[in-house]
Structure 1
C-alpha cells in the first residue's frame, strides 16, 4: 500500500512537472496545483489543526490536574526587643532572631468528577468543530475549483474569439487592398476606402482587446494557483468540445439530491445543528452541582526555632484529601442567559440549513437554465453562422469585382461577427454549466 501511494504521488508530480515544462496546463493540472498551493486553502488546513488542538484540550479536561508550589522567604524585624511567635507549618514557634528564613512546599491535585456532563458534551462539540473545519476546507476548495473552471472556459472562449477576429481582420485587409485598386481605377470613392480603412482599424482593435482580456484572465488564474510570473503558462484546449455539448444535461432534482448528500456547505450546516443541541445541553449542565475530589501534600521549615530543618520537615509534613461540592444558587442570571442564547442559536442553525439548501437549489437551477438555454442557442447559431459566412464571402467577392458597395460588405461582416460571437459564447457557456452541474453531482471538474 505504501509503495502504491508513493507511485501515485510520483505520477501526479510527474504530470505537474510535465505541464510546467511545456507550459500547457489542462484544467486538472490547474486544479491540482491550486489545491496544493492556494493560500486560502492552506490557511483552512491550519484552522483544522487548531480545531484538533481544541479537541485534545477538551479531552484532557476529564483528567485530574496536578500542580506543585515552592516558596522561600526572609522576614526581618529590626525593632523586635523580645522573642516573637511565628507559625511554622502547623506548629507555633517562638524566636528572638530579628531575621527569619522560612520555606513552604506543596503538591496539590484536583479532579472534577461531575459537572452536569459539561466536559463530555464539550468534547463532542469540539469534535464537531473539527469536522466543520475540515468541511470548510472542502468548501473553499470547491469554490476555488469553480472559479478556476470559469476562468479556464473564459480563456478558451476568448482564444477562439481572437481566431475569429484575426480571420475577419485578414479579410478586411484584403478588401482594403482591393478597394484601393478600385479607387485607382475610378470604380470606388475615397469615402469607400476610408470606411474600409476604419474597418481594418476596428478589426485590429478587436484582436488587441481580446488578447488583453486573455492576459487579464490568465493573471486572475495565476493568482488562484499562486503561480509566479516566471512560469510559462498557457491553457491547453480540450479535444472534441462539440461532442461534450451533446451530453445529457442532468435534471435539477437529480443534481440537487446528489448535492444534498455530498456538498460540504450542507454537511457543515447539519453539523452546526448538532453542535447547537450540545450547546443547549452544556448550558443546562451549568445548573447542576459540581463535584470534585481534592488532595494535597505540604511541608515547611523556619530558622531561629532551635530545631534543625530535618526535624521541622518531619513534624510539619501534612497530607489532606477532600471532596468539594459547588451548588449554584444565584449568579445574576448568567446561566439562564447562556441557556436562552444557546436555544436561540439552535433555531438560527436550523434556519441556516434551510437557507443553504435553498441557495443550493437556486444555484443548481441557474446552472441548469444556462446550460439548457445556451445549448439550444448553440444548435441554432451553428446554421446561422454557416449562412452568414456564405453570405459574407459572396458579398466580399462581389465587392472585389465591383458589383457590391461598401455598405453591404460592412453590414454582412457585422452580421457574421455577431453570429460567430453568439455561437462561441453559447458553446462555452453550455460547456461550463454542464460541467458545473456534474461537479455538483460529486463528479470531478473536467472537460
Structure 2
C-alpha cells in the first residue's frame, strides 16, 4: 500500500481539487501505476464510499451540536369573524370601536423558546464518541475500496501480460506449423512421407491457428475487463506498456508469512474496523444502561402578543403582554415494560458479536496470507522447474524435427515432441505470472507499494 499516494488522493478528493482526466491526458501506453492512479479518480464505488464518509462526518457534527441549547421562534396570527345576530341588520348593529365592542378581532402572539438536556445518563457524550468512531470506520471503508482497486487492477494487468505472452507463443507455433506443412509437402512430393502423415501436419496447423484465435480472444477479454475496472468508455482503446520481467523478478526472495501477517494487522482496514466495532458496541452498552438513569431538561421562553380593538396601541400591548418563563423537567424511569433491561441484554450480545467479528477478520486475514504465501512459493518452485523443462523439451523437439526431415521420425513422434514443448512453455508462463502476482500481493500485505 502506498500511503503517500492514498494521502494525496484523500486530500485532493476532500478539497475538491481532484478532477477527471480528459482523453488528452490519458497515457498512450498504460503502466500498472497509470492504471491504479487513474482508477482511483474514476471508480464509482470509491466515490460512493467518499460520499458515505462525508455523510458520517455530518452525523458527527449533529451529535456534537446536541450538547448546545436549541432556539426556536414561533408566531400565531389569528383573525376572528363573528356573524351578526339573526334578525339584525347592519343599520341597527351598533359598533363602538372605541370601546372594543366590534365582533371582528385580530390577535398576534410571539414567542422565543430554548431548551437543552442537562443530564441523560451520559448518552449525549457517548453518542458523540460513537459517531466519531463510525466516521473512522467509514474512513477505513474508503481505504478498503482503495485496496480492492489496487489488487484488482494488479491482477487484471498481470492477466493481460500473461495473455500477451501466450499470444506470442501461439504466433510462433503457428509460424512453425506453417513451415512444417511446407516441408511436409516437399517430403510428400519426394515420396518421403505418406499422405496420412501430411494430413496430420495440416491438421496440427489448423489446430495451432485455432489456439492462436483463442489466445487472442482471451487477451481482448482481459483488456476489456481492465477497461471496465478503469471505468473507460467502450470506444476508447487501451494499450498496455509491457515491462521487462527477468527470472530474478520472478524468483525474488519472499518475506516470512508471520512477518507479513503481523505487518498486515497494523493497517488492513477490515482489522481496524473490527477493533472499532468492539468500541462502538461498548458505547451502545453504556447508552442502554443510561436508560435506568433520570433525565433533566432545562427550558426557557419569552413571549408577547397583541389584540385588535384594544384601547392600547400595538407597541404598548407588546410591552404589557411581555412574559418570561424558565423551568426544569425531571424524568425518572420507574417501570419501562422491560425496555431498558432488554436493551442492556442486547447490547451485551452485540459486544460478543463484535468481538467474534474481529476474531473472524483476523482468521480470514491469516488464511488469505497463508494461501498467498503457499501459492507464491509453489509458483516459484514450478517456474524454476519449468525453465529446465522448457530447455529439455526444446532440445528434444529440435532433435525430433531434424530426424523428421531426415526421415528418421514419423509425424506422430514429431507432433508429440512439439506439443510437449508448447505445453512446457505454457506451464512456465503460468508459473511465472502466478509467482509475480503472489509476490506483489505479499508486498501489499506488508504495507509496501505494488510495483512492476
2:303 aligned with 1:291: no
Q: How many corresponding residue pairs? A: 424
Match of 1:97 in 2: 102
Measured after TM superposition, the shift of residue 79 of structure 1 is: 5.7
2:224 aligned with 1:216: no
For 2:24 and 2:326, locate their aligned partners in 1 and report how far apart those are by CA, in whole Å. Answer: 70
Match of 2:45 in 1: 40
2:410 aligned with 1:405: yes
Measured after TM superposition, the shift of residue 224 of structure 1 is: 1.1
For 1:101 and 1:234, locate their aligned partners in 2 and report how far apart those are by CA, in whole Å. Answer: 79
Match of 2:95 in 1: none
Preserved contact between residue 136 and residue 264 of structure 1 (Cα < 8 Å): yes
TM-score (norm 2): 0.89
Match of 1:257 in 2: 262
Match of 2:318 in 1: 313
Deviations 1:342-392 (A, max 9, x none): 221111110000000000000000000101111111111111110101111
In structure 2, do the counterparts of structure 1 residues 313 and 443 end up closer, same or farther at CA, with 3 Å as the change threshold?
A: same
Over 6 Å off, 4+ runs: 15-19
Match of 2:286 in 1: 281
For 1:383 and 1:56, locate their aligned partners in 2 and report how far apart those are by CA, in whole Å. Answer: 65
Deviations 1:46-96 (A, max 9, x none): 111001000000110001000000111112332669xxxxxxxxxxxx964
Is the partner of 1:197 in helix, strand or coil?
Answer: helix
Worse-matched range after superposition: 436-445 or 329-338:
329-338
In structure 2, do the counterparts of structure 1 residues 262 and 327 end up closer, same or farther at CA, with 3 Å as the change threshold?
A: same
In structure 2, do the counterparts of structure 1 residues 19 and 298 end up closer, same or farther at CA, with 3 Å as the change threshold?
A: closer
Match of 1:91 in 2: none
Residue number among 432, 438, 442 corresponding to 1:433 in the alignment:
438
For 1:400 and 1:16, locate their aligned partners in 2 and report how far apart those are by CA, in whole Å. Answer: 58
Deviations 1:94-139 (A, max 9, x none): 9643222111110000011111111111011011111110100111
Preserved contact between residue 19 and residue 29 of structure 1 (Cα < 8 Å): no
Residue number among 236, 240, 252 corresponding to 1:235 in the alignment:
240
In structure 2, do the counterparts of structure 1 residues 101 and 80 end up closer, same or farther at CA, with 3 Å as the change threshold?
A: farther
Measured after TM superposition, the shift of residue 211 of structure 1 is: 1.1
2:213 aligned with 1:182: no
Is the partner of 1:33 in helix, strand or coil?
Answer: helix
For 1:16 and 1:147, locate their aligned partners in 2 and report how far apart those are by CA, in whole Å. Answer: 23
Measured after TM superposition, the shift of residue 182 of structure 1 is: 1.6
Measured after TM superposition, the shift of residue 230 of structure 1 is: 4.2
Equivalent residue runs for 1:42-121 within 5 Å? 42-78=47-83, 96-121=101-126
Worse-matched range after superposition: 50-59 or 138-147:
138-147
Unmatched segments (≥5 aa) in structure 1: 82-93
Residue number among 115, 135, 139 corresponding to 2:140 in the alignment:
135
Measured after TM superposition, the shift of residue 401 of structure 1 is: 2.8
Match of 1:20 in 2: 26
2:154 aligned with 1:149: yes
2:331 aligned with 1:326: yes
For 2:313 and 2:25, locate their aligned partners in 1 and report how far apart those are by CA, in whole Å. Answer: 81
In structure 2, do the counterparts of structure 1 residues 202 and 262 end up closer, same or farther at CA, with 3 Å as the change threshold?
A: same
2:443 aligned with 1:442: no
For 2:316 and 2:33, locate their aligned partners in 1 and report how far apart those are by CA, in whole Å. Answer: 79
TM-score (norm 1): 0.90
Match of 1:169 in 2: 174
Match of 1:85 in 2: none
Is the partner of 1:284 in helix, strand or coil?
Answer: helix
Is the partner of 1:262 in helix, strand or coil?
Answer: coil
For 1:413 and 1:73, locate their aligned partners in 2 and report how far apart those are by CA, in whole Å. Answer: 100
Match of 2:92 in 1: none
For 1:103 and 1:282, locate their aligned partners in 2 and report how far apart those are by CA, in whole Å. Answer: 43
Is the partner of 1:443 in helix, strand or coil?
Answer: coil
For 1:375 and 1:103, locate their aligned partners in 2 and report how far apart those are by CA, in whole Å. Answer: 87
For 2:61 and 2:183, locate their aligned partners in 1 and report how far apart those are by CA, in whole Å. Answer: 81
Residue number among 408, 416, 421 corresponding to 2:426 in the alignment:
421
For 2:101 and 2:199, locate their aligned partners in 1 and report how far apart those are by CA, in whole Å. Answer: 120
2:203 aligned with 1:198: yes
Worse-matched range after superposition: 259-268 or 184-193:
184-193
Is the partner of 1:250 in helix, strand or coil?
Answer: coil
Preserved contact between residue 255 and residue 437 of structure 1 (Cα < 8 Å): yes
